[in-house]
Amino acid sequence: MTRNQIIAAGLALVLIAYSLLNPLRLEHLLMLAALATLWFVSRVTREFVLVFSPIVAFVWIYDLLRIFSARAERAVSLSEVREAELAIFGWSADGARIGPVEFFIDRHHPVLDLIGAAWYSSHMATIIGFGLFLWWTQRRAGVVAHSVRLHRFMWGFLFVNLIGFLVQVFFPVAPPWYVEQFGYAVPEGAMLGDPGGLARVDQLIGFGYFAGIYGKAAYVFGAMPSLHVAYPVWIALNARSLAGRSAAWFYASGMAFFAVYFTHHYVLDLVAGAAFSLGAYVLLTRTALAQVPVRIHGMLRAQFLESEQPAQAIEVAA
């Protein structure tokens, strides 16, 4: 067998093993078709697929979380994070202890709801957009293979998610909307995702857009850490110019606000998500792990772009 045949057989075995754990659906097949098309169009699109492979891996790994849903429903933490939230960030009102989440349950506005819906649902679009920006600028400079900055962003994003997923699997936490609706009652049977405060937006637009999206969520009890906040913080940490960093931190602040406003996360979830991104950034910029992302990309290039040598771990456009 040739090397390409061995690689193809290996990928096929991985896909079969994945399908046994998590049966493939239409969206999986569409993504595979898109990736196959990009792979065979040109060398540039093959390079694009390799650069964005961490995001592809993230999507497939996230969907695999649904196999842990039943365990999460049995082991979910219903009160610990909320009680800690009230102790740290809460205050007394009308003889009861409330926190930021409880404050916004009855304090919202349709205009803010619409702005927040667009803002809050843009978390993946901005990751992909910033990745495209880095890939395009590094490609124009002719340093894609060696760009520490580009591959740190891509592989660091996957690393943040993997650690976040591990925490969510071993420490499942109920989001605020669950406690609002069911209190501290243990889920009975399979639990579907809920749009929380975004249900108000569904009412405004006249159809269940967000109910449909969250109803298909792979994992319901993954409130801690908030990856919704981890993503814009990751972008802000990797932005270079003063204007870019300022815009990114403003965007991250808005994401944090709307995560609480729509009763999807506690403040402690936000702190944890931001800390995960900061910790990953420190590891990939201040330790021996700094060169790992570009080396991983170099190995992929060596395997899949046969005529090129592995990228050397040099600091270019970091």
Q: Are 304 and 46 in contact (CB under 8 A)?
A: yes
Q: What per-residue confidence (pLDDT) applies to 306? A: 58
Confidence at 293, pLDDT banded by 50, 70, 90: very high
Q: How many CA atoms lie within 13 A of 172 on its CB side?
A: 19
Predicted confidence (pLDDT) at residue 70 exceeds the cutoff of 80: yes
Q: Are 55 and 64 in contact (CB under 8 A)?
A: no
Tokens of 199: 């249900």
Q: Are 317 and 151 in contact (CB under 8 A)?
A: no
CA-to-CA distance for 214 and 210, rounded, in angstroms? 6
Percent of the chain with pLDDT over 90: 84
Question: Cα 138–142–145 angle (5° rounding)?
Answer: 75
Q: What is the pLDDT of residues 98-148, one digit of tens each?
A: 999 999 999 999 999 999 999 999 999 999 999 999 999 999 988 888 899
Could you tell me how far CA 77 lies from the centroid of its own chain?
Answer: 21
Q: What per-residue confidence (pLDDT) applies to 304? A: 83
Q: Are 236 and 249 in contact (CB under 8 A)?
A: yes
Element spanning 97, H or E: strand 96-98
Q: What per-residue confidence (pLDDT) applies to 290? A: 93
**102 backbone φψ class: left, alpha, beta (φ>0; ψ -120 to 50):** alpha
Q: What is the mean pLDDT of residues 188-209?
A: 93
Predicted confidence (pLDDT) at residue 201 exceeds the cutoff of 70: yes
CA-to-CA distance for 66 and 190, rounded, in angstroms? 11
The pTM score is: 0.92
Q: What is the pLDDT of residues 233-262, one digit of tens each?
A: 999 999 999 999 999 999 999 999 999 999
